[in-house]
Amino acid sequence: MGIEIIGIGSYLPEKILTNIDLEKLVETSDEWITTRTGIKERRIASESEATSDLAIKAAERAISNAKISPEEIDAIIVATITPDMAFPSTACFVQKGLKAVNSAAFDISAACSGFIYGLTIGKDLIKSGTFNTVLVIGGETLSKITDWHDRNTCVLLGDAAGAVILRKTNSSSDILSSYLGANGNYSDLLLMPGGGSRNPTTHKTVDEQLHYLKMEGNKLFKIAVKAMADSAQKAIALAGITCNDVNLIIPHQANIRIVEAVAKLLNVSMDKVFLNIHKYGNTSAATTPVALEEAIREGKVKKGDIVTLVAFGGGLTWGAVVIRL
Ligand code: ACO
């Protein structure tokens, strides 16, 4: 028994915010953002769009790509750090929107590694015999928790959603291996402190701007490089292959310099690494499924190719999966 990826879809909000636009908001420049991060522009959800709206559109495309009906979905997993609200889960809003009336639904919180975590949980729910068909979504509206006066973070983030549908198959598995890790000792490097049970929302927490994402980018940078390279190496070894067997590496798109440093540690040339950070910035849990969909659509990978998805994010969390298309 194996697990097949039968459908994939993504959705990017229409509004484009360029580096030039950001020059008018904060003390920054297109040159600084481009050279330090690789980002040229990002997509921003409209005021009325919540994470579930993006997730539903990505899921509809994955469902159409898989040629199944929403009733065939047994479980919906949404990886997000920007849920529509604390509860119900964003997955429940997605279930309602899709009319996936036969599915269980829940969210997971693993920041930028969320899609890798979700894919692993989805795979194992099928492997254990609990479900046959699982929809896994990475969706974010980071623009809603961004402090648009903070140049350290606002130039990096964007909104997007990507979705895949996993199904039980009698042939060999498309998901060859998975490796997950975390270190809560670094939780203060990337967080949104307000709005939870530690700092329930009050006028004071809003005045103190605790409802915005806070990040110590410089400290994260070094940990990200090591954790991503290490995760990719471990997942590749668990798949019983080497880096040379991998056709494409799809890294979390946080910073082009992090990606280049990871490629160097893996001894992989950059033409084996997928990049779309220039168009969308860091969309947290959405970066890897959006990039996978784009790589397939643009013909960068074909049926039978081996792809490694690798990510790193708040928590801190990290992980990688190796899949065969
Ligand atoms: N425009 C102009 N100058 C800026 C900007 C900006 N947008 N942002 C920071 N600067 C300044 C700083 O104030 C600093 O100035 P100073 O030297 O006078 O103090 C200078 O640029 C250098 O700042 P650094 O923080 O050292 O810059 P660095 O080269 O580290 O780049 C960055 C910053 C892009 C944030 C980088 O550290 C990074 O990408 N870190 C990793 C982010 C990441 O991986 N996050 C995890 C995933 S995100 C998630 O889970 C949601």
pLDDT value, residue 36: 97
Per-residue pLDDT for 168 more than 90? yes
Containing structural domain, residue 211 = 176-324
The domain spanning residue 282 has which CATH number? 3.40.47.10
Of the three residues 171, 205, 231, the one that is the final residue of a domain is 171
Backbone angles phi, psi at 117, to 5 degrees: -60, -45
DSSP 170-210: SS--SEEEEEEEE-GGGGGGEE--SSSSSS---HHHHHTTT
- Which of 80, 143, 221, 225 to probe ligand 1 with, by most ligand atoms within 8 A of CB? 221
Question: Which one, of 41, 20, 34, lies nearest residue 255 by Cα?
Answer: 34
- Selecting among 19, 255, 276, 282, the annotated active-site residue is 282
Same domain, residue pair 164 and 133: yes
**Peptide bond just before 316 cis, omega within 30 deg:** yes
Contacts of 47 (CB under 8 A, 6+ apart): none
Tell me, what's the pLDDT at 291? 98
> How sure is the predictor about 209, in pLDDT bands with cuts at 50, 70 and 90?
very high
Do 19 and 159 share a domain, yes or no?
yes
Residue whose C-alpha is closest to residue 77's, from 23, 126, 115, 33: 115
Residues 47 and 68 in one domain: yes
In the chain, pLDDT over 90 holds for what percent of residues?
Answer: 98
Amino acid 172: pLDDT: 81
Q: Could you give the CA distance from residue 161 to residue 287 in angstroms, rounded to a whole number?
A: 8
Domain finish residue from 122, 146, 171 = 171
State phi, psi for 175 to the nearest 5 degrees: -100, 110
Please pick, among 19, 92, 112, 154, the residue that the annotation labels catalytic.
Answer: 112
Question: How remote is the CA of residue 155 from the centroid of ligand 1, in Å?
Answer: 9
| Whether residues 219 and 309 fall in one domain | yes
| pTM for the structure as a whole | 0.96
Q: What is the mean pLDDT of residues 7-16?
A: 98
Whether residues 61 and 159 share a domain: the answer is yes
Q: What is the pLDDT of residue 257?
A: 97
Instruction: Give the per-residue pLDDT at 6.
Output: 96
pLDDT digits (tens, 9 = 90+) for 76-108: 999 999 999 999 999 999 999 999 999 999 999
- Kindly report, residue by residue over 241-278, the tens digit of the pLDDT: 999 999 999 999 999 999 999 999 999 999 999 999 99
171 has a pLDDT exceeding 90: no
Residues 267 and 148 in one domain: no
Which of 19, 92, 154, 252 is an active site residue?
A: 252
- With a Cβ cut-off of 6 Å, ligand 1 is lined by 28, 32-33, 36-37, 111-112, 151-152, 155, 190, 215, 217-218, 220-221, 224, 254-255, 258, 282, 284, 313-314
113-135 mean pLDDT: 97
What is the pLDDT at residue 1? 80
252 is catalytic: yes
Q: Given 143, 171, 199, which residue is the final one in a domain?
A: 171
On whether both 110 and 74 belong to a single domain, the answer is yes
Q: How many domains does the chain contain in total?
A: 2
Q: Which ligand 1 atom sits closest to the C-alpha of 157?
A: 51
Specify whether 121 is located in the same domain as 84.
yes
